[in-house]
C-alpha cells in the first residue's frame, strides 16, 4: 500500500534536524507561470538566492502522487520541462495523489503543505486573487481562502495587476488575512510598483516580521497568514504604459478564445511574456528573486530567536 504522507528532500531533513531556517517555494510559477526553458534556470536561481541569504530552500511539488517538501534538482527539472504537469490547488492534492500524478503546487497548496510541515515563511511572485469581472464569473483564486486558515508568512509583490486589486484587498480583509507592506504603505501590483491602494500596516525589517510570527504564535488567536507585500523599486518595474496596453490586449484575447478557470492566470502571464518581448519576464524574475531573498532573511531572523533542538548542533 502506498504511503501518501508528506515526504522530505534530504536537504530539508538535514536542515530541520540541525535547526536551520527553511523557506518554502512553490512550483506552479515554475511549471505554469514562466516560459520554457527560462523556468528551469529561474527555479535554480530562486533556490540559490535563498541559500545566499542564509536559509535552506524547500521547493514543494508532487512527484508520482507523493507530496515532496524539498524537491531535488532532477525533480525540479522534471516539473519545469515535462509538458503534462498538473496545476494543484489544495483541493486537488489527494485526487492527484490517488492518480499518482506529477503536479505543481499553487500558493494555496504550497502554503497549506508548508504549514503542515512546520515551515513558517514562503516566497512567491504574486498571489492569486479576485479576477476582473468576478461578479459575473465568480473567479476568485483559492489562494485567498487557503491563506485565511494557514499560519504562514507569504512574501509576494502583492497580487498580479491582471486581477482586481481593490476587490482582492477587500476579500483579504473579510477573510481575516493579515496584510502589511514591506517598508511601504502602498500595495504593489506585481509588475508595477504601486497597485493603487494603501494598506493599513507596514513592517520594516526581517526582525519585525519575525516578531509578527512570534506574536501570532504566542497569542494563539489567529491562524491566518500574513501577506507581506514587497514592491519592486519604481525604476525596476514594467513600464506602466506598456503594462496597460499588454493587459488590455491580453484580456481581449482571453475573451476571444473563451479561456476560463485555472487556465486564466497562466494564459495572461504567457501573453505578457510573449508580447513584451521578454521585458515582463525579466521583471517577473526580479520580483521572485527579491522575495526569495527577503523570505530567507525573515526565516533566519525568526530562527535566531528560536532554541536549537537539544542534541543538535548548528553547522558553521
Instruction: Tell me how many residues contact ligand PSU (CB under 6 A).
Output: 20
Nearest to 228 by CA among 199, 193, 191: 199
Residue 106 binds: one of ligand PSU, Mn ion, none (C-beta under 5 to 8 A by kind): ligand PSU
Does residue 87 have a known ligand-binding role?
yes
Angstrom distance (rounded) from CA 23 to CA 296? 6
Burial class (CB in 10 A: 0-12, 13-18, 19+), 201: exposed
Angstrom distance (rounded) from CA 216 to CA 209? 11
The grid coordinates of residue 208 equal 519585525
Residue 195 contacts ligand PSU per CB under 6 A: no
Catalytic residues: 26, 160
CB of 126 to ligand PSU, least distance (A): 4
Instruction: Tell me how many residues contact Mn ion (CB under 5 A).
Output: 1
Query: Which residue's entry shows cell 476571444?
Result: 256
Torsion, Cα of 176, 182, 187, 190 (10° steps): -110
Residue 29 binds: one of ligand PSU, Mn ion, none (C-beta under 5 to 8 A by kind): ligand PSU
CB of 94 to ligand PSU, least distance (A): 18
Q: Which element (helix H / strand E) includes 23?
A: strand 22-25
Residue 302 contacts Mn ion per CB under 5 A: no
Residue 143 contacts Mn ion per CB under 5 A: no
First-to-last alpha carbon distance for the chain, in angstroms, is 41
Give a three-class secondary structure readout of 262-277: HHHHHHHHHHHHHHCC
Where in 96-135 is the site for ligand PSU (CB under 6 A)? Answer: 106-108, 124-126, 128
- Of the pair 139, 164, the CB lying nearest Mn ion is at 139
| Nearby residues of 40 by Cβ (< 8 Å), 6 or more positions away | 30, 76, 77, 80, 81
Interaction mask 249-288, ligand PSU, x per CB under 6 A: -------------x--x---x--------------x----
Task: Determine how β-strand 153-156 pairs with β-strand 121-123.
Answer: parallel
Interaction mask 91-130, Mn ion, x per CB under 5 A: ----------------------------------------
Residue 142 contacts ligand PSU per CB under 6 A: yes
Does residue 27 have a known ligand-binding role?
no
Residue 32 contacts ligand PSU per CB under 6 A: yes
Q: 143, 168, 203, 268: which one contacts ligand PSU (CB under 6 A)?
A: 143
- Of the pair 108, 180, the CB lying nearest ligand PSU is at 108
The grid coordinates of residue 259 equal 479561456
Query: Cis ω on the peptide bond leading into residue 236 (within 30° of 0)?
Result: no
Contacting range for Mn ion; rule: CB under 5 A; set: 40-48, 139-147, 169-177, 204-212: 139-147
Enter the DSSP assignment of 132: T
CA 48 centroid distance within chain: 16
| β-bridge partners, 92 | none
Specify binding-site residues. 87, 107, 139, 141-143
- Residues near ligand PSU (CB under 6 A) are 26, 28-29, 32-33, 106-108, 124-126, 128, 141-143, 160, 262, 265, 269, 284
Amino acid at each position: 500500500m502506498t504511503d501518501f504522507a508528506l515526504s522530505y528532500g534530504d536537504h530539508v531533513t538535514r536542515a530541520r534536524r540541525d535547526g536551520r531556517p527553511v523557506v518554502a517555494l512553490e512550483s506552479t510559477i515554475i511549471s505554469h507561470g514562466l516560459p520554457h526553458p527560462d523556468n528551469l534556470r529561474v527555479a535554480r536561481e530562486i533556490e540559490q538566492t535563498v541559500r545566499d541569504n542564509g536559509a535552506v530552500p524547500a521547493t514543494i511539488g508532487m512527484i508520482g502522487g507523493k507530496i515532496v517538501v524539498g524537491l531535488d534538482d532532477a525533480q525540479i527539472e522534471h516539473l519545469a520541462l515535462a509538458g503534462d504537469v498538473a496545476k494543484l490547488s489544495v483541493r486537488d492534492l489527494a485526487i492527484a495523489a490517488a492518480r499518482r500524478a506529477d503536479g505543481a503546487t499553487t500558493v494555496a497548496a504550497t502554503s497549506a503543505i508548508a504549514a503542515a510541515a512546520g515551515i513558517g515563511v514562503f516566497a512567491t511572485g504574486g498571489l492569486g486573487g479576485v479576477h476582473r469581472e468576478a461578479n459575473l464569473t465568480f473567479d476568485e483564486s483559492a489562494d485567498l481562502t487557503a491563506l485565511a486558515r494557514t499560519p504562514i508568512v507569504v512574501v509576494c509583490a502583492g497580487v498580479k495587476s491582471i486581477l482586481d486589486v481593490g476587490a482582492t484587498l477587500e476579500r483579504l480583509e473579510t477573510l481575516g488575512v493579515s496584510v502589511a507592506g514591506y517598508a511601504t504603505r502602498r500595495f504593489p501590483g506585481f509588475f508595477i510598483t504601486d497597485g493603487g491602494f494603501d494598506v493599513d500596516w507596514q513592517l520594516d525589517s526581517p526582525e519585525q516580521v519575525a516578531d509578527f510570527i512570534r506574536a501570532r504564535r504566542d497569542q494563539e488567536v489567529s491562524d491566518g497568514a500574513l501577506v507581506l507585500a514587497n514592491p519592486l523599486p519604481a525604476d525596476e518595474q514594467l513600464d506602466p504604459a506598456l503594462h496597460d496596453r499588454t493587459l488590455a490586449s491580453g484580456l481581449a484575447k482571453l475573451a476571444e478564445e473563451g479561456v476560463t478557470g485555472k487556465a486564466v492566470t497562466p494564459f495572461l502571464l504567457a501573453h505578457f511574456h510573449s508580447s513584451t518581448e521578454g521585458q515582463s519576464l525579466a521583471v517577473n524574475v526580479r520580483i521572485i528573486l527579491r522575495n526569495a531573498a527577503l523570505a530567507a532573511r525573515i526565516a533566519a531572523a525568526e530562527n535566531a530567536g528560536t532554541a536549537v533542538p537539544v542534541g543538535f548542533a548548528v553547522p558553521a
